[in-house]
């Protein structure tokens, strides 16, 4: 019993020391500065690789949990049920037809559709045969059928598609009911694959994207700095990038969660990764540069 107790205690102690070492490295690496980064020149690359694997796994898990909570299957199911409930109120006598690239209706007024989830209204659908919808109007529907185009608007991003001559669609209450019946069959597998994407594909893609950017930015930094840092090494640039890109990765997670459809999120995060890699490499060789200037 004593031997088993002491072996378990030693395992716990070693585990705590490893956690402490990871946290210490994290706080030293968080912002590139010359107090810590020159020490990486004398730190083995294997240590940084192991540390970065732990760091990216933690970031990927946090990223996945936050995204899964925001777009959870239960929340999507509630939205789906709210849409089904709202579509059931579609007027019996309304006929909407897209023919020869033009929207037609037997009604002389716009048609609106709202869904209510937790007593909160959401403007989902609008059809108007007279004119196209202006995004300056308030509120803005998610899906708008205009006279000659369809417009999808979500999270500040608008997509417009003109009707074509071959588009022939008829929307009535009967066609909507048929669609709702068929949706009950394909919704469960669709929800399963969406959950699989959130739990598996998304974190793997995030880790792969960050690793790829680290290699690319490290190579660009190596090319840029080799003219005035004679003893620079590519693997050390990779090492600096592993430690120096914590803030860009955290900012990427925050931006993606807050603005998932914003087109500039990827551009901003990629630019930040490059800038922080440059700073990290420079700080790593800062003392070497000072010594060479002193000579």
Single out the residue in 171, 187, 211 at which a domain terminates.
171
Q: What percent of the chain has pLDDT over 90?
A: 14
201 & 270 share domain = yes
pLDDT value of position 198 = 82
111 & 230 share domain = no
More confident residue, 273 or 95: 273
Beta carbons of 172 and 178 less than 8 angstroms apart: no
Whether residue 242 is contained in a domain is answered as yes
Helix, strand and coil in the chain, % to nearest 5 = 60, 15, 25
More confident residue, 55 or 120: 55
d(CA 119, CA 281): 53
- Asked if residue 117 has pLDDT above 50, the reply is yes
Residue 145 domain boundaries = 95-171
pLDDT value of position 238 = 93
Question: Could you report how far apart the first and last alpha carbons of the chain are, in Å?
Answer: 64
Share the mean pLDDT of the chain: 79
Q: Which of 20, 171, 6, 186 is nearest to 91 (CA)?
A: 171
pTM of the model: 0.69
Whether residue 29 is contained in a domain is answered as no
pLDDT value of position 144 = 80
107 & 146 share domain = yes
157 & 273 share domain = no
Q: What is the mean pLDDT of residues 25-30?
A: 80
Q: What is the mean pLDDT of residues 145-150?
A: 80
Q: What is the mean pLDDT of residues 203-221?
A: 91
Single out the residue in 136, 171, 206 at which a domain terminates.
171
Whether residue 5 is contained in a domain is answered as no
141 & 264 share domain = no
- Asked if residue 159 has pLDDT above 70, the reply is yes
165 & 186 share domain = no
Single out the residue in 126, 155, 171 at which a domain terminates.
171
The model's pLDDT over 274-292, given as tens digits with 9 standing for 90+, comes to 999 999 999 988 877 655 5
Q: What percent of the chain has pLDDT over 70?
A: 83
120 & 232 share domain = no
pLDDT value of position 5 = 47
The model's pLDDT over 119-135, given as tens digits with 9 standing for 90+, comes to 677 777 787 777 655 55
The model's confidence at residue 91, banded by pLDDT at 50, 70 and 90, is confident
CA atoms within 13 A on the CB side of 58: 12
Q: What is the largest CA-CA distance in the chain?
A: 89
Q: What is the dihedral of CA 162, 167, 170, 175, to 10 degrees?
A: -100
pLDDT value of position 7 = 55
d(CA 174, CA 178): 6
d(CA 148, CA 161): 9
pLDDT value of position 14 = 65
Find which of 27-31, 180-184, 281-285 is predicted with most confidence, using mean pLDDT. Answer: 281-285
80 & 187 share domain = yes
Q: What is the mean pLDDT of residues 7-33?
A: 70
Structural domains in the chain (count): 2
d(CA 209, CA 199): 16
Whether residue 38 is contained in a domain is answered as no
């Amino acid at each position: 019993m004593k031997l088993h107790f002491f072996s378990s205690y030693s395992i716990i102690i070693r585990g705590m020391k490893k956690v402490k070492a990871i946290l210490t490295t994290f706080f030293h690496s968080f912002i590139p500065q010359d107090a810590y980064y020159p020490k990486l020149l004398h730190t083995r690359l294997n240590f940084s690789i192991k540390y970065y694997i732990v760091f990216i796994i933690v970031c990927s898990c946090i990223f996945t949990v936050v995204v899964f909570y925001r777009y959870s299957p239960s929340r999507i199911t509630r939205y789906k049920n709210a849409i089904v409930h709202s579509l059931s109120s579609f007027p019996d006598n309304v006929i909407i037809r897209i023919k020869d690239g033009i929207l037609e209706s037997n009604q002389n007024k716009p048609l609106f559709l709202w869904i209510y989830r937790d007593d909160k209204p959401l403007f989902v659908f609008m059809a108007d045969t007279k004119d196209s919808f202006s995004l300056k109007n308030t509120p803005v529907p998610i899906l708008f059928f205009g006279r000659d185009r369809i417009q999808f608007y979500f999270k500040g991003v608008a997509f417009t598609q003109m009707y074509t001559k071959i588009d022939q669609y008829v929307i009535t209450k009967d066609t909507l009911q048929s669609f709702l019946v068929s949706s009950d069959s394909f919704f469960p597998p669709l929800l399963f694959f969406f959950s699989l994407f959130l739990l598996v594909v998304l974190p793997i893609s995030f880790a792969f994207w960050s690793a790829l950017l680290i290699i690319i930015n490290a190579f660009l930094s190596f090319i840029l700095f080799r003219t005035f840092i004679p003893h620079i090494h590519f693997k050390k640039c990779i090492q600096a990038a592993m430690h120096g890109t914590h803030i860009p990765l955290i900012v990427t997670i925050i931006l993606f969660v807050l603005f998932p459809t914003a087109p500039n999120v990827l551009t901003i995060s990629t630019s930040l990764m490059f800038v922080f890699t440059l700073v990290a490499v420079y700080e790593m060789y800062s003392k070497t540069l000072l010594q060479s200037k002193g000579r």
